Amino acid sequence: MADDTPLLEIDDLEKHFEQSTNILDLLLRREPSKIQAVDGVSFTLETNDSIAVIGESGCGKTTLLLTLIGLHDITGGDVVYKGTPMSDFDDADWKEYRSNVQVIFQDPFNSLDPKMTVEESLKEPLKIHDVGNRDERVYQVLEDVELRPPEQYLHRKPMNLSGGEKQRVAIGRALVLEPDIILADEPVSMLDVSTQASVLRMLKDLIDDYDASMIYISHDLSTVSYISETVNVMYLGRIVESAPTEWILDDPKHPYSEALVSAIPIPDPHHDRARTEMSGAPRDPIDLGEGCRFRDRCPKVIPPDGIDVDQEAYREVMAFREALERDDLPLERIRKELDDPGDQEAFAAAIRGEYFSGEMTGENATTVDAALDDVADGDLDAAADRLRDRFESVCENTPLSVEAEADWHVACHQYYDHDRRTKEDHAITTD
Amino acid sequence: MPARDAVSLPNTEAFENIADHHIVRNFVGGLRMMLNDRTTAAYFWILVGITFLGVVGPMLAPYGIEQTQYSETGQILSAAPPSINHPLGTTFAGYDVLSRLLVGARPTVITGLLGGGLILTIGTSIGITAGYVGGRTETILMRFTDFVYGVPLIPFGIVMITFLGVGFLSSILVIGLILWRGGARVIRAQTLQIKQYPFVKVAKATGASRRRIIIKHILPNVAPMAIFFLALGVGYAIMLQASLTFLGVASPFTPSWGVMIRNAFNSGYMSQAWWWSLTPGLLIGITVLSTFMFGRGYEDLITADSESVEADTVAA
Amino acid sequence: MSRPLLEIEDLTIRYETDGGDLTAVSNASFSVDEGEFFGLAGESGSGKSTTAKAIIGGLDDNGWIDGGTIRYRGEEIQDFTDKELNEKLRWKEVSWIPQSSMNSLDPLQRVSEQALEIGRVHTDLSNEAIREKLKEMFDVVGLQQSRIDDYPHQFSGGMQQRAIIALALFLEPSLVIADEPTTALDVIMQDQIFKYLDRMKDDAEISLLLITHDISVIFESCDSVAIMHASQIAERGSTTAVHDNPRHPYAFMFKEAFPDIREPSRDLEVIEGYPPELIGEVSSCSFTDRCPWAVEECHQSAPPLEPVGDDDATHAASCFRSDEAYELYERYGATDPSAEVEAEQGGN
């Protein structure tokens, strides 16, 4: 193996699930829709690296982890371990991978088998991989995870351990095979805050001591700086920003990272933090299309050139188009609530009332009005076309791979649209 | 790789270890906890007592079971009420009821253990296989279980026994072949749940073979439920066997308690010689009740146990 | 100053367990003013949820109030029966936002039906008026008004939690008790929900009793705070007073255990050990075994909750060394050499 081969390369990794189909779908020969849980994720883990993947629930981070430990089949892209792609793994490769890549899960209460003693849990990986010296190894690893003296813990069952102790055993089990890579899924988020810090610190120290690398998955940006140098921010299956942790905390570039960072509470009554501007929640990762996944909630979505429109009004148009194109408009209900369900004009006005606050003028207003009339007439396609012609954003039609600039990757047109701004405007500054 | 895992030497050694302490320890531990509850302990000791009767009963019997008893005047003691010599009276044919009862304990115990064991083995195997393997295997196994659910018990038993030949063992076999269905469903559901726990995922990610996960993780964790079904199975098997015997489709020559009731009924003296059928009926009732209540105690214990774990989780 | 909305005085709550009577709350005192957001903080096992449950008569079957009073608008309510609580307090005066939204909405009923049921039991409002109120509240929490007739499963997790908040608020209660209302949610959703709670505070003058382990949320969103450790209130006061001038070792160590993204490389405090389980009368400071500054006195009696500082009238701490502990901590950190010397002196 060449020296410059990275430890783990995640290359355009894709994990799609097929939505369960029923008999009707089969009869109608409908294509099952795909859940794009992980969709084109790439990053590289070097030896002694610690990389974090941060995102809200449903962003695909746990799917990513399960795919990396080989519990999900890959549906696209690849994971390359020490130069060998997972798709080419034979049994021996798998065996090696499984002994060198270990995982720590979030929930300390269910990550140890309640029927096994600490000793049995810790010995299991050694037995599976036929490693000798088990007693010494188990003893040593208990010392390392600060469960001292080990004799006191060997014969306990999880029931008789506190949350912090359980998680220490789980960390010990991950380390006992002396792996190259630890995958950690929110290992401290369910612990009390008084123990959180000590477990985090211990985990970080042990990763160094055992000469391992780590991929740390969490929803919590505030503790990530204690464990990882680099952060990948994930949204709906893709990485939207990747940079050194302190940079992202200090000056997030992608509008989503910005929202995420600015929503973190500051433990200081004197600090006056503005509440988030964002509303709603991420949508389902189905039929996401080509463009930016954050466009429907993005406060900075980019209007087409030559159109003069207020940002807020533009976002309303985008939200309406999104619902229209996904056939999600609650038309029946709106019509039912009318005094006279046959009144087309009132119908169009009611739809407008539901989606627009009315801050639009000129050509923009005319287009929206015409589209609303189309919708009232039932011609949804025409309305969609009409709106797309005028309002289509670069954010929705242009695929954007994560572009690189030094150590900072931001998947947002704001930073690469040369008509708008130049890259130089956003030259990376470190303090 | 799993296959290789399974045959390599250290694993056979591990296998012995499991039998040595893993499952046994859990079983003993669970039993000890159960016996802390006085009611459950009482039922447990009743069951132990009945099993003991099954072993030594025939030796304790004061008379032979087909030894006709005579009164001092030399007459056959036909359906004689309880007396000092025959504390439970005699049958129509002049046999001692107590002796028959003691000897009859053995077939009853054998029926319970064998029937319950069959139910447990089939139910657990099908449940765990379906739950853990999933996919088509699961579909086929569970549809088969549904099918078995649709089989009416007694008529099927009669048909099967006429097919297999009337006999003590064949009646137990028939019982086992039907009654596993409830256990299979519940154990499959449990397996599905346990399969989702992180500790199983961790074991998989570490490269544990399917066999290892089933034996070391799934089995010990479904064991409480399996034991519950074993207890129910023992009870049902005894009850069903008594019913089949009573209907005349089990061997009348094995002197089980069910046979006693049947003989009493057939003799036409059932209402006069109440002592003939009352004691075996009572004993069947007590045995079945004890198994059910014992199983219930185990279930209570296990749910209380898992609730406390959940409470822990919530508190954190 | 007008009378506080909720006053809790010397409250003691016990649970009957196999090991004896477990003291969950011991002599806790604090009060919530009208329009005030009050945070009750602590780790698991601190008794914070138990305190909240006691206010609305929701203790588990094996728990009881063993002493002290709970007054709502001056009236003692700790001995209220379920019926009295339902008639006088629940929903229209005091409402409850539970931790887990998934279990607190009836999956088989539309949200509006659940609102009607609450409204019918606790008020004389007409169905139409109840629906109107619910619609208004849906608007406030950022849900479409038209969705009041949806079933719970039609909402995402965050939306369900907002629907619950709408249900808790639509009868315009004066006091809302929220038990970890956002713990299961992501930060953005948490922030959205507090945005709506802030709005309610401005518009409707509600008071909030917020129970959470997350002191950042309290410092940011509440006016006052009480920090509990193993049944005792360690310190309470306005958030600024407790933040700027903490006196109880647990209070400042707990505070320092939280990350602050403004200082991503600051060392987080670790509090060794676990809160003790207290059986029977609590006759010592419950933090003694975890406290680096504990002296003999701390083992012998429970320190009373006494006023400290002159920054704020409600600021109080229950620590024998409240006037020096923070200073020692700032100077020497949590491993304080002088503490041991003084401990010996205290022992002599």
What pLDDT is stored for residue B304 in this prediction?
57
Residue B315's pLDDT band (cuts 50, 70, 90): very low
Facing residues of A44 across strands? A9
Amino acid, res. C27: N
DSSP state letter for B209: -
Instruction: Check CB contact of A131 with chain B, cutoff 8 Å.
Output: no
**Higher-confidence position of A27 and A393:** A393
Amino acid, res. C331: R
Residue C159's pLDDT band (cuts 50, 70, 90): confident
Weakest-pLDDT range from B21-30, C267-276, C333-342: C333-342
Residue A98: which of B205, B212, B308 has the nearest Cβ? B205
CB contact under 8 A, A163 and B316: yes
Distance between CA A70 and CA A93 in Å, rounded? Answer: 12
What pLDDT is stored for residue B202 in this prediction?
92
Sheet containing A8-18, strands listed edge to edge, beginning at the edge strand earlier in sequence: A34-45, A8-18, A76-81, A84-85
DSSP state letter for B206: T
Shortest distance between the Cα of C181 and any Cα of chain B, in A, equals 14
Q: Which residues from chain C sit within 8 angstroms of residue A263, using beta carbons?
A: 187-188, 190-191
Residue B206: which of A92, A102, A159 has the nearest Cβ? A102
B20-63+77-309: CATH superfamily: MetI-like (1.10.3720.10)
What pLDDT is stored for residue A153 in this prediction?
93
What residue in A sits closest to C195 (Cα-Cα)? A275
Q: What is the mean pLDDT of residues A38-42?
A: 89
Which residues fall within 8 angstroms of residue A200, CB to CB, at 6 or more apart?
A: A187, A188, A223, A226, A227, C268
- Is B41 exposed, middle or buried (CB count within 10 Å of its CB: 0-12, 13-18, 19+)? middle
Q: What is the mean pLDDT of residues A316-326?
A: 83
What pLDDT is stored for residue A93 in this prediction?
94
Instruction: Check CB contact of B84 with chain C, cutoff 8 Å.
Output: no
Which residues fall within 8 angstroms of residue A383, CB to CB, at 6 or more apart?
A: A324, A371, A372, A374, A375
CB contact under 8 A, C243 and A270: yes
CB contact under 8 A, B11 and A127: yes
Residues in chain C: 348
Distance between CA C95 and CA C72 in Å, rounded? Answer: 13
Q: Which residues from chain B sit within 8 angstroms of residue A177, using beta carbons?
A: 206
What pLDDT is stored for residue A424 in this prediction?
40
Q: Which two tokens stand for residue B113?
A: 């253990």
Q: What is the mean pLDDT of residues A108-125?
A: 90
Domain ranges of chain C: 104-172, 245-347
What pLDDT is stored for residue C218 in this prediction?
94
- Is B31 exposed, middle or buried (CB count within 10 Å of its CB: 0-12, 13-18, 19+)? middle
Give chains near C: 3+ CB pairs under 8 A. A, B
Residue C337 pLDDT exceeds 60: no
Cα dihedral sign for A221, A225, A226, A230? positive
What pLDDT is stored for residue B203 in this prediction?
93
Domains of chain A and any CATH numbers: 8-228 (3.40.50.300), 311-392 (no CATH)
* Best mutation target, C220, C238, C244, C250, to test chain A (most A CBs within 10 A): C220
Tell me the pLDDT tens digit for each residue of B253-279.
777 888 788 777 777 776 777 777 788
Residues of B (158-187) whose Cβ lies below 8 Å from C: none
Weakest-pLDDT range from A154-168, A303-317, C232-246: A303-317
Closest CA to C231 of C61, C21, C19: C21
Q: What is the 3-state secondary structure (H, E, C) of chain C?
A: CCCCCEEEEEEEEEEEECCEEEEEEEEEEEEECCCCEEEEECCCCCCHHHHHHHHCCCCCCCEEEEEEEEEECCEECCCCCHHHHHHHHECCCEEEECCCHHHHCCCCCCHHHHHHHHHHHHCCCCHHHHHHHHHHHHHHCCCCHHHHHCCHHHCCHHHHHHHHHHHHHCCCCCEEEEECCCCCCCHHHHHHHHHHHHHHHHHHCCEEEEEECCHHHHHHHCCEEEEEECCEEEEEEEHHHHHHCCCCHHHHHHHHCCCCCCCCCCCCCCCCCCCCCCECCCCCCCCHHHCCCCCHHHHHCCCCCEECCCCCCCCEECCCCCCCHHHHHHHHCCCCHHHHHHHHHHHC
What pLDDT is stored for residue A1 in this prediction?
46
User: Torsions phi, psi of C38, nearest 5?
Assistant: -115, 130
DSSP state letter for B36: T
Residues of C (100-129) whose Cβ lies below 8 Å from A: none
What residue in B sits closest to A124 (Cα-Cα)? B203
What pLDDT is stored for residue C327 in this prediction?
85
Distance between CA A172 and CA A143 in Å, rounded? Answer: 9
CB contact under 8 A, B309 and A159: yes
Q: Which two tokens stand for residue A3?
A: 């020296």
What pLDDT is stored for residue B104 in this prediction?
83
Weakest-pLDDT range from A13-27, A256-270, C66-80, C308-322: A13-27
Q: What is the mean pLDDT of residues C219-240?
A: 94
Tell me the pLDDT tens digit for each residue of A137-151.
999 999 999 898 999
Tell me the pLDDT tens digit for each residue of B218-256.
988 888 788 888 888 888 888 888 888 877 777 777 778
pLDDT mean across residues, chain A: 84
CA distances from B20 to B17, B222, C303 (A): 5, 19, 53
Residue A404 pLDDT exceeds 70: no
Q: Which residues from chain A sit within 8 angstroms of residue B199, using beta carbons?
A: 110-113, 121
Residue B6 pLDDT exceeds 60: no
Q: Residue B70, SS3?
A: strand
Top mean pLDDT of A317-321, A332-336, B53-57, C75-79 is at: C75-79
Q: Residue B15, SS3?
A: helix
Q: What is the 3-state secondary structure (H, E, C) of chain A?
A: CCCCCCCEEEEEEEEEEECCCCHHHHHCCCCCCEEEEEEEEEEEECCCCEEEEECCCCCCHHHHHHHHCCCCCCCEEEEEECCEEHHHCCHHHHHHHHHHEEEECCCCCCCCCCCCCHHHHHHHHHHHCCCCCHHHHHHHHHHHCCCCCCHHHHCCCHHHCCHHHHHHHHHHHHHCCCCCEEEEECCCCCCCHHHHHHHHHHHHHHHHHCCCEEEEEECCHHHHCCCCCEEEEEECCEEEEEEEHHHHHHCCCCHHHHHHHHCCCCCCCCCCCCCCCCCCCCCCCECCCCCCCCCCCCCCCCCCCCCCCCHHHHHHHHHHHHHHHCCCCCHHHHHHCCCCCCCHHHHHHHHHHHHCCCCCCHHHHHHHHHHHHHHHHCCHHHHHHHHHHHHCCHHHHCCCCCEEECCEEECCHHHCCCCCCCHHHHCCCCC
What pLDDT is stored for residue A429 in this prediction?
38
Q: What is the mean pLDDT of residues A4-8?
A: 87
Q: What is the 3-state secondary structure (H, E, C) of B72-123?
A: CCCCECCCCCCCCCCCCCECCCCCEHHHHHHHHHHHHHHHHHHHHHHHHHHH
Distance between CA A105 and CA A166 in Å, rounded? Answer: 11
Q: What is the mean pLDDT of residues B51-78?
A: 77
Cα dihedral sign for C115, C120, C122, C124? positive
What pLDDT is stored for residue C201 in this prediction?
84
Residue A383, CA atoms < 13 Å, CB-side half-sphere: 25
Distance between CA A54 and CA A46 in Å, rounded? Answer: 19
Give chains near B: 3+ CB pairs under 8 A. A, C
Closest CA to B25 of C108, A119, A289, C35: A119
CB contact under 8 A, B10 and A130: yes
Amino acid, res. A196: Q
Weakest-pLDDT range from A116-130, B10-24, B302-316: B302-316
Weakest-pLDDT range from A25-34, A109-118, A318-327: A25-34
What pLDDT is stored for residue A401 in this prediction?
58
Q: ipTM of the assembly?
A: 0.85
Cα dihedral sign for C144, C146, C152, C153? negative
pLDDT mean across residues, chain C: 86
Instruction: Check CB contact of B315 with chain C, cutoff 8 Å.
Output: yes
Residue A21 pLDDT exceeds 70: no
Facing residues of A16 across strands? A36
CB contact under 8 A, B5 and A128: yes
Q: What is the mean pLDDT of residues C156-185?
A: 85
Q: What is the mean pLDDT of residues A175-191?
A: 91
What pLDDT is stored for residue B308 in this prediction?
39
Domain ranges of chain B: 20-63+77-309
Tell me the pLDDT tens digit for each residue of C48-96.
999 998 998 888 888 899 999 999 999 999 888 888 888 888 888 898 8
Residue A346 pLDDT exceeds 50: yes
Top mean pLDDT of A346-360, A369-383, C24-38 is at: C24-38
Distance between CA A264 and CA A218 in Å, rounded? Answer: 14
Distance between CA B302 and CA B231 in Å, rounded? Answer: 15
Top mean pLDDT of A233-242, A322-331, C162-171 is at: A233-242
Which residues fall within 8 angstroms of residue B269, CB to CB, at 6 or more apart?
A: B79, B92, B276
Residue A225: which of C194, C216, C264 has the nearest Cβ? C264
Tell me the pLDDT tens digit for each residue of B130-176.
999 888 889 899 999 999 888 888 888 888 877 877 777 888 888 88
Residue B40 pLDDT exceeds 70: yes
